[in-house]
Structure 1
């Protein structure tokens, strides 16, 4: 009997791992499509290709993140209506078709349009993948399966940096190689599209549609018989409770209350701070930054692969430290040291000029900066936004703050190339460092420490500060 239980557990574990990897193609595509311009833009900008100006480069890059802002807002409701599985299948179709479409784009306008549509898929995937994984994972594996989402995003960035370096160095004499770089995103798109047909629907979504028999069949595939039946009863009880609370569901009218507005400002500003600390100037334009620092084009493509490696290292560090150290402490530490790294790069660029050691020193400091950012600001921003909203307002509230984060991402991607061309790399990095300093001040005065704190106590922190009618006291 014990051997049978162990065998069943191993089978379920293997199947859940397969589910994680197939579903995770959506996260990998998130990373690949946002970062593919890092290495491809240099070829796109050649006169024989699209002849992109610095401003046009920013539009090509940021068009995707603008689409992602809207995809993040509308993806959730669509997923609730048609189901997580069907949503991910359609996202796989979009990633495949428009990935190839970008590679075949005859002009800049078509490329920007297709990148915007890909952005809608990226934004929808950024919400749907973690929700699907959270709903299908057993409680004991939920943290590991959901955190795989963040790892696969940065792994997708690392993957595309490696592919671009390989293609750029082997076939760089053909300026049209960028078309292959962007088209290769269709391969994981096909894996998501076809693979999701073999994946189960979320049992929680099925029960929300009163499809209890189908939900139980899914649970039998991923749990033991006893666990499946117990979990179905728990889901039914939870659904009944949610139906009773549905009459009091949050709406935009509730967001006129000052204390809720203040939570939205706090969450939105955390997203803006994360983006204006400059990480995506490196993830989107790392090759151009390294060329500006003094590397040759081919050497910059190779060196840029290290950005992806250190992003993965930072993401792993973040997964293991965010629950051990305080959120506020980790955020402040990250902002301070990111600011120091950015200023250091600026000073080297300003005063070392074209010294032989300058590009290597800048590359090393950028790698340190990446690890710090991806291990602190990256995970903490998403975690705090999931904690600061009361349960009733969490869905709508986090939708607003994620939209704000993507809009900030859009402006960083849009403005970095023309700013670097106009005022130089050093001055742009000084601006990012100033944003880190302002961000640290904001965190000190506005953000509570939420480690080990009940969600109800987090609500009382904001209500005691911003709700005149609140008579309770904050325990934070």
Structure 2
């Protein structure tokens, strides 16, 4: 059993935390390996002389090369943006596990097109492959987090959704280091740059093989009126018999929640969209969830991920291999930060505190780097070795990574998967995933031009935005840790504010559990379970707990 300081909202059998729930979450979140790998390898691949030679880019001016590289990077995000919306009908009609299978298949098609591109085909095939691979990634980025949110016990929901971030960083580490290894061990030529593009097929192929074996989301099955299958899947995921009181209680709560939500939204494909648009509270929640990805990109993360060689060159790092090595260290720090976030921080410290701490530490680091470049002007004074002040700037870049990785890197995905009730979650997750790719597209498309025109001002710009995000999070974002999905509406009630909502809701839960736990502890009592207008559980409907 895995037990890393979890805090439960109700007495929970140990079997609920078995390897089965972790394995299903890991297979689903393995989609993020594809995302992390792409975000890391593409920038370093574009910097390889062998790639530039293959596609006749060596004779391009700086502005021409910036334009082409921005197209190669940003077309992928454009595909992801539209894929996130395509994930909505796929997730609604076909379910989570087959949606992930389809996303992996589409991604592999795009990866193959990138691999077969060469000097004779030109960049057209590369562009097409980038868009198609992005389409598959967009679908996966929608469905993977909500699948995990739907199958996870509340006490470890943040940790399980956080595996998405861990897989992202695993892919990132491989992507950041692969071109360093290729440049040192493979002679300059077609094979050198091709290797990194071909490796995309490994995570894509593994997800396509593993997704059909996932246990389908019991919540999705219930929403499709497949009640027997829902109970069977819930029993499998909880490693308990179907008639166990814990399984029966969760099944009854899920059934009543969906019944109540259908009375609000109506059944069908369009119901969730119309419900969100007609409800000001849900619209606000959607705006809040989407805006977190704007603030995430405001940290500068995608500028760094996709153009890391450019970033280190601006600090004063010279030489292709030195730049690739420095980028690889950055990837390892991100992975370690993601592990700490996943295993402890996300479910212990919570979402709000993490985001604010990450912004403050990241802003200080960015201000230092910007000040160093403004004063030392390393690009105007190139040297074969990095000065002591230059090393301090690199150190602060890594400090920025230490603050960013266990905070802003994965937390917005967790919050976005938690915020919404079942009857609108697939639609809202499409919007949230699309917002991530939209903001990433904007950053990826214009980062080269920003560094050309703004210089050190880019760092000051991102640092100032991080300071602004602290106030945004404190004033507007409620804490969601350990709050069951069925009670998220209470965090946005008219009687609470963002900074005290979690305390109030948890107090209500403790009071209700204290009054009802005896009814559920002997496994043979009748209990009335219903739903208030605000989405919280109350007495009202007979549910047999055997």
Task: Give TM class, smaller chain.
Answer: 0.7 to 0.9
Greater share of helix: 1
The higher radius of gyration belongs to 2
| Residues 258-285 of structure 1: per-residue CA shift (max 9 Å, x gap) | 5554444433332211111101111111
The equivalent residue for 2:457 is 427
Matched, 1:40 2:71: no
Unaligned runs of at least 5 residues, structure 2: 1-13, 58-63, 266-271, 506-546
Residue 374 of structure 2 corresponds to: 350
Q: 1:232 to 1:57 in 2, by over 3 A?
A: farther
TM-score by length of 1: 0.83
Asked if the contact 1:314/1:371 (under 8 Å) is kept, the reply is yes
Structure 1: which 5+ runs fail to align? Answer: 1-8, 466-473
**Cα root mean square deviation, aligned:** 3.5
State the partner residue of 1:243. 259
Distance 1:64 1:205 in 2: 29
Q: Does 1:192 align with 2:214?
A: no
**Cα gap change, 1:404 to 1:84, in 2 (>3 Å):** closer
Which deviations, in whole Å up to 9, do the C-alpha atoms of 1:29-79 show, x marking residues without a partner?
Answer: 121123221311113762442527102211211211222222223313312
In structure 2, relative to structure 1, the CA distance for the partners of 1:461 and 1:155 (3 Å cut) is farther
Q: Which moved more, 1:375-384 or 1:446-455?
A: 446-455
Q: Which aligned pairs between 1:64-213 and structure 2 lie closer than 5 A?
A: 64-105=76-117, 106-136=121-151, 142-171=157-186, 173-174=188-189, 177-211=192-226
Provide Cα deviations, 1:326-361, integer angstroms capped at 9, x if missing partner: 543432222222111112112222222246325533
1:226 to 238, 241, 260: 241
| Equivalent pairs, count | 459
Q: Are the equivalent residues in 2 in contact too, given 1:65–1:119 (CA < 8 A)?
A: yes
Q: Map 1:274-353; keep pairs closer than 5 Å.
A: 274-292=296-314, 293-319=316-342, 320-325=344-349, 327-352=351-376, 353=378
Look up the match of 2:488. Answer: 455
Alpha-carbon spacing, 1:139–1:277, altered in 2? closer, same or farther (3 Å): closer
From 386, 404, 410, the equivalent of 1:373 is 404
Instruction: Compare 215-224 and 437-446 and name the one that shifted more.
Output: 215-224
Counterpart of 2:523? none
Tell me the residue number matched to 1:269: 291
Alignment match, 1:418: 449
Task: Report the secondary structure of 2:493's partner residue.
Answer: helix
Deviations 1:170-212 (A, max 9, x none): 2252265222211211012111222334444444444544445
Equivalent of residue 439 in structure 1, options 449, 461, 469: 469
CA separation of 1:19 and 1:364: change in aligned 2, threshold 3 A: same
Gap change, CA 1:253 and 1:450, over 3 Å in 2: closer
